[in-house]
Amino acid sequence: MPTTERPVIFANRAEAGRFLAHHLRDYAGRSDVLVLGLPRGGVPVAFEVARSLRAPLDAFVVRKIGVPGYPELAIGAIASGDSLFVDEPMLGMLGLEREDIAAVIRRERLELQRRESRYCGDRCAPDVRGRTVILVDDGLATGSSMRVAVAALRERFPARIVAAVPIGSESGCHDLASVADDVVCVETPEPFGGVGAWYRDFSPTSDAEVVALLARAT
């Protein structure tokens, strides 16, 4: 049974996925729905969502673009289909130009291609035309990865894009509402701190785990 009450902290991504699925139950059993998880951490969450909604599951690869020297500070992201998002105001605020992050973009593009090949090959660019796509991650801080994923999917003419996370920052979820057709951020605690603060087990999801979950969902 899906979790219907919010735990203080999620035990793991699977529990978070079951919790999120309960808040997406209106999409259950619909033939037009496709669930896409953002690797790596979003896939275990998306697996539970897809299973609960009785919907197909796949991966949609996104890579964060970090500030040179400060890789944890996201200044943009790239996604399957070679879509690129750069936070231009932040770039200017940091006194950087596009060429200053060109090497980071090249490196992340190579990693994105490696992950696509490992996880799902051509399926990482699924046919979403006319479908309702539920795009899932394990949480949302700045929202840059989710925003570029939405932009990349939009170019493929889905009927509707639902961005869904079990937990996120209030500002990140608010900003996402300007690009997605619907945003499901179930919990937006403040101060947010970071996604990992809301999980007892936030250990990294491995490539092997992603491949195994995608295989179980087919």
Mind listing the pLDDT tens digit for each residue in 180-215? 999 999 999 988 988 999 999 999 999 999 999 999
Using pLDDT thresholds of 50, 70 and 90, give the confidence band for residue 125.
low
The Cα–Cα gap between 34 and 144 comes to 22
Is there a contact between 152 and 126 (Cβ–Cβ < 8 Å)?
no
CATH class (in words) of the domain with range 13-62+121-217: alpha beta
The Cα–Cα gap between 16 and 20 comes to 6
138-172 residue pLDDT tens: 999 988 889 888 988 888 899 999 999 999 999 99
Query: What mean pLDDT, rounded, does the chain reach?
Result: 90
Angle in degrees, 0-180, between the axes of helices 102-119 and 207-217, rounded to the nearest 10: 40
Is there a contact between 175 and 143 (Cβ–Cβ < 8 Å)?
yes
Query: Is the predicted pLDDT of residue 61 greater than 70, yes or no?
Result: yes
Name the residue ranges covered by the structural domains of the chain: 13-62+121-217
Site of tokens 């996104």: 62
